[in-house]
């Protein structure tokens, strides 16, 4: 049998496809995996050709889910709401809405990953028909089984052919993830080595703790910030992205519980909550979480020798300010001395500039009959140096 030109071409194609993989952390893929595991619809935003479909293929293989791709922009509204089928006696039986073949296949399989591609090029009528698919998992008269997960992809309007803004009702049903390419990954991949992400796993023993933490975090924030419960953006373009509503806060709560149970990084958690409720409310939630587990100033003042201060500078500053505020609220010699001991601990275990303001404020709280503790001498040098540095910086800025 003679070798044809196409046989040689096939051999070359096989060599080009012969690649290897290496383990590599991937924040985007971790966030996507957790959102899909939480049974929340996900919308991937990204420019064409940056690997959104490849990421979904890898995710489907890892989760052992069959992948079903539907190009939303080439379908009619009836393809999602169902086609009317007239029976023997419509007056008594009604007119059922027949689902498309892809929905029937998903129901027969009982599980799968439904990928709605090119969502931003779907006209408003198709987007309206997708509302029930995304939220209620209904396609015509058919209900998709619980084992089916939904992921969509869209290009920004600037790079989408005949693109449309997403309607606010449809946008608010998704967790929005911004998908970007990694230069190093692309270069190594084209060289024959693609990344193999290690996907997060939920720890069964942490589930009750994760639920309690998520509820405390979200409810604690909304209790003191009621205006965040529902904020429909005034800008039309922003309405097509993540924004806070009771529905999206429920998604943020679920995502927080899953991220806590999987013990993922703060970066992954940030991507998830901001993708649910938007950047501003999401960052407020993260900041509120940071303060949930801060030590009680009264506990620190009661036993400064056993105190453990936060490592992060901003959180340490909050704790020290809280200690000074507690002494101001109930000024006593023993509490004042304990506060100085805590400032010394902060000086020895962190940045010296963090103690400058609390030390200056604490000094003003001294009563005439209180003895000056020896700890003040240990702080005097650091406070003096820090103040001189601040004055030098201010002087340089003024001269410029």
Lowest mean per-residue pLDDT among 84-88, 131-135, 178-182, 250-254:
84-88
Confidence of residue 285 (pLDDT cuts 50, 70, 90): very high
Q: How many CA atoms lie within 13 A of 315 on its CB side?
A: 16
Highest averaged pLDDT of the listed ranges 47-61, 76-90, 171-185, 251-265: 251-265
Q: What pLDDT is recorded for position 67?
A: 92
Rounded mean pLDDT, 282-295: 89
Q: What pLDDT is recorded for position 382?
A: 59
323 vs 309: CA distance, rounded Å: 11
Whether domain 23-82+99-196 has CATH 3.40.50.300: the reply is yes
Q: What pLDDT is recorded for position 392?
A: 40
Rounded mean pLDDT, 43-55: 86
Backbone angles phi, psi at 146, to 5 degrees: -60, -25
Confidence of residue 385 (pLDDT cuts 50, 70, 90): very low
Q: What pLDDT is recorded for position 161?
A: 53
Highest averaged pLDDT of the listed ranges 203-207, 364-368, 391-395: 203-207
Question: Which tens digit of pLDDT belongs to each residue from 68-120?
Answer: 999 887 888 877 877 766 665 565 656 666 788 888 899 999 999 999 988 88
27 vs 267: CA distance, rounded Å: 7
252 vs 285: CA distance, rounded Å: 9
332 vs 370: CA distance, rounded Å: 9
CB 175 within 8 A of CB 275: yes
CA 215 centroid distance within chain: 16
Q: What pLDDT is recorded for position 138?
A: 87
How many other CB atoms are found less than 10 A from the CB of residue 60?
19
């Amino acid at each position: 049998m003679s070798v044809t030109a196409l046989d040689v071409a096939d051999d070359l194609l096989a060599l080009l496809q012969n690649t290897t993989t290496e383990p590599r952390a991937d924040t985007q893929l971790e966030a996507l995996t957790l959102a899909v595991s939480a049974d929340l619809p996900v919308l991937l935003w990204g420019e064409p050709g940056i690997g959104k479909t490849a990421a979904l293929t890898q995710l489907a293989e890892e989760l052992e889910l069959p992948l079903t791709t539907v190009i939303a922009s080439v379908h009619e509204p009836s393809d999602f709401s169902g086609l009317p089928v007239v029976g023997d006696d419509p007056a008594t039986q009604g007119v059922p809405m027949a689902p498309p073949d892809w929905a029937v296949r998903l129901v027969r399989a009982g599980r799968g990953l439904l990928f709605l591609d090119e969502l931003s090029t779907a006209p408003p009528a198709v987007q309206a028909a997708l509302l029930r698919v995304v939220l209620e998992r209904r396609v015509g008269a058919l209900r998709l089984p619980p084992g089916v997960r939904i992921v969509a992809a869209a290009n920004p309007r600037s790079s989408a052919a005949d693109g449309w803004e997403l309607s606010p009702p449809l946008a608010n049903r998704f967790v929005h993830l911004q998908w970007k390419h990694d230069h190093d990954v692309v270069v190594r991949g084209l060289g024959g080595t693609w990344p193999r992400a290690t996907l997060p796993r939920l720890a069964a023993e942490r589930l009750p703790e994760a639920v309690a933490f998520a509820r405390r975090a979200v409810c604690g924030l909304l209790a003191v910030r009621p205006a965040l419960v529902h904020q429909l953006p005034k800008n039309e373009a922003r309405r097509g992205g993540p924004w806070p509503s009771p529905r999206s806060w429920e998604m943020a709560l679920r995502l927080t519980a899953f991220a806590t149970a999987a013990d993922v990084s703060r970066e992954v958690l940030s991507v998830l909550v901001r993708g649910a409720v938007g950047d501003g409310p999401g960052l407020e939630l993260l900041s509120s979480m940071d303060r949930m587990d801060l030590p009680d100033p009264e506990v620190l003042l009661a036993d400064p020798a056993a105190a453990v201060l936060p490592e992060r500078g901003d959180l340490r500053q909050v704790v020290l300010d809280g200690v000074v505020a507690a002494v101001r609220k109930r000024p006593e010699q023993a509490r004042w001395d304990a506060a100085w001991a805590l400032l010394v601990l902060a000086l020895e275990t962190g940045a010296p500039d963090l103690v400058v303001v609390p030390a200056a404020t604490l000094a003003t709280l001294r009563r005439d009959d209180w003895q000056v503790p020896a700890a003040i001498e240990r702080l005097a040098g650091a406070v003096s140096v820090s103040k001189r540095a601040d004055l030098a910086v201010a002087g340089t800025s003024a001269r410029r």
